[in-house]
Chain A
Amino acid sequence: MKALRKYEISITFVLSEPICNEYLSIGWSCNEMSEEYIISISDVSKTFNHIPALRGVNLDIQPGIFGLIGPNGAGKTTLLRISLGLIRPDTGLVKILGLDSQKHSVKIREEIGVLHEHPYYPKNLRVSEFLDWVKNMRSESREIGELLDLVDLSGAENKKIGALSAGMYQRLGLAQALCGEPKIIFLDEPTSNLDVTGRDKIAKLILQLHNEIGVSFFISSHILSELERVCHSVGFLREGVLVDSGKTREIIEKHTKGWYRVLTSDPQALLKILEGEPMFKDCSTSDANAITVRIGEEKMETIRSKVENLVKGSGILLYGIDRASSLEEVYRRVMIDEEIQ
């Protein structure tokens, strides 16, 4: 009974997550998407000093929020820089809004906003001075006050850029990317310098901007929880190869079908017990308080009662069982497991 009560708590917690509302809004805007590709990457390869950074990447991205996932050095930033015309690919073609990223990079940059990883903005300028400068380059743009409101930087307009905190600096990056009504915003590791609260704010802001003004995002990141939260579609890049891509929920379903996480007080002991059972395949300890198992097409209730029966009398506490359906699990399957194989 004690264990069962914990299941209930766990389920209640998941349902009460405020993120649920955001998922609903994603679902709504997914339905609104057109079938046109805003970014089209065809057979793009790039080598740096004989080391391949990208190997024949093909990717078509529809309007919405796209997340490019991969470990450090996977080629995410290289792909982004090629897309922006900052570097040339050895082979292949990237089209942004139907335009060749190498030949029409200036025209493309009129239509997009960019936030680089570790961006550099003139530190001696004031926030308002800098945004005013960015605004002057764009034919149409929101007022500076509105931009600052959007990124939660109101009141910082007279601060010198050099005096901003890491979070404020990042939000300034987002504000400058939003200048000029961009159709797509490219974000390279947008939350890498931020704490949990800062990440949360940026994630919410991205969703809000997409829902309110319809701007599409191309986000390169290795922070999976944040991408899962905001992205309509994702792509996995490993050692320059696009391993998989598609709608976020479809990708998660595809790679985690039949996988479950069992939250427990003693993962090692539970692992030993479950490894002996033919029903539980590919058991592994996924973290300090859980193990991951592949079970198949069983109902959750059946699995739960089976695990409870197995641990009865062993002193192992069960805190919950849930589908291992997260991008983190997909990452494990797609990136780490395949690498080992």
Chain B
Amino acid sequence: MKKYNEIIQLELKHLYRVPFLETMIATLVFACLIGVVQASTRGPELNLYSFSDYNSTHMIGITLEGFQEMTISGFVLGPTYGMVFIVFLIPMMIAASISRGFENGLHKTLLSYPFSRKEVLLCKIVIPVIALALPCLATSFVATSILTPGYLDLITISIFSLAFIAVCFAIASVSAVIALLSKNSLITSSIGVLIWYAILFVYVPPPDVPLLYGILNPMSTSIAFIMDSGGAIQLSEVLLSLVGCLIMAVLLILIADRVFKHTEI
């Protein structure tokens, strides 16, 4: 753990120094707050327009169910707004960290010290995920708790938070593989961003969500599950997409580890 701590410290001091990381986190926090405030003040119709096909029966149902639904939506909407930024911030951070390491020789320096390549790679993948995902979730949780106190559901929070973190990991691991194969920061950031904008912002309405889409975008599945009280999406489907996404991210990290092991520095 000491070695991970050292690498993370260097990355935070050197690469993500003021105002880079702070600006990104501030932007994300602001986006999350807007999401929560909008959901909490404008009412449930915003959620319906955002996350499912407009359906008047459904809307009435949610309106009748009342305030609790709205609260959950607030927590969901914050990180979803944040994801708009995260989709380009994570590939950008991975590009700055992994690809740039090849370009400026930081990997060579790091691997002159007793760090294994796995430790270096894991730190570089984990830092953006933790630095960006956790503030988003925390902001949404706190803001929702303040604006609509007492209406946070543990299962919903858990499912959505896991889905959100899984997507962040998937974005980071895909970017890491691209970074290691290309060793080019421009390619890493641009391709990483384009892939995930395409995946996350193509809307596939339930209930006919293909498994692969569910794995690539568990956020969409979990939002549909949270919003849809009619049961169009089952909990098992949500869990499948969640676990699938996490497995995909882990597999990609393992691939990145193999690639990095054989990469000449």
Contacts and interface: CB of A to CB of B under 8 A. Distances in A.
Given A84-B111, A119-B105, A122-B13, A106 B116 contact: yes
A125 B105 CA distance: 16
Given A106-B116, A116-B108, A137-B114, A87 B13 contact: no
Interface in A84-105: 84-88, 105
A136 B112 CA distance: 14
B114 A81 contact: no
A119 B108 CA distance: 8
Contacts of A125: 13-14
B: contact size bracket: 20 to 34
Task: Among B6, B13, B14, B17, find the residue whose CB has the most chain A CB atoms closer than 10 A.
Answer: B14
A28 interface: no
Interface string B101-126: 00011101101111110000000000
B109 A120 contact: yes
B265 A86 contact: yes
B104 A120 contact: yes
A118 interface: yes
A: contact size bracket: 20 to 34
Interface string B3-40: 10010011001110100000000000000000000000
Contacts of A274: none
A113 to B, nearest CB: 8
Contacts of A124: 13-14, 17
A189 interface: no
B6 A110 contact: no
A124 B3 CA distance: 21
B42 interface: no
Interface of B: 2-3, 6, 9-10, 13-15, 17, 104-106, 108-109, 111-116, 262, 264-265
Given A106-B115, A133-B9, 15 more contacts: A81-B264, A86-B265, A88-B262, A105-B116, A107-B114, A109-B114, A114-B112, A116-B112, A119-B109, A120-B105, A122-B10, A122-B15, A133-B6, A136-B2, A137-B115
Interface of A: 81, 84-88, 105-107, 109-110, 113-114, 116, 118-122, 124-125, 129, 133-134, 136-137
30 contacts: A81-B265, A85-B111, A86-B108, A86-B264, A86-B265, A87-B264, A87-B265, A105-B111, A106-B116, A107-B114, A109-B111, A109-B112, A109-B113, A116-B105, A116-B108, A116-B109, A118-B105, A119-B105, A119-B109, A120-B105, A120-B106, A122-B10, A124-B13, A125-B14, A133-B6, A133-B9, A133-B13, A137-B113, A137-B114, A137-B115
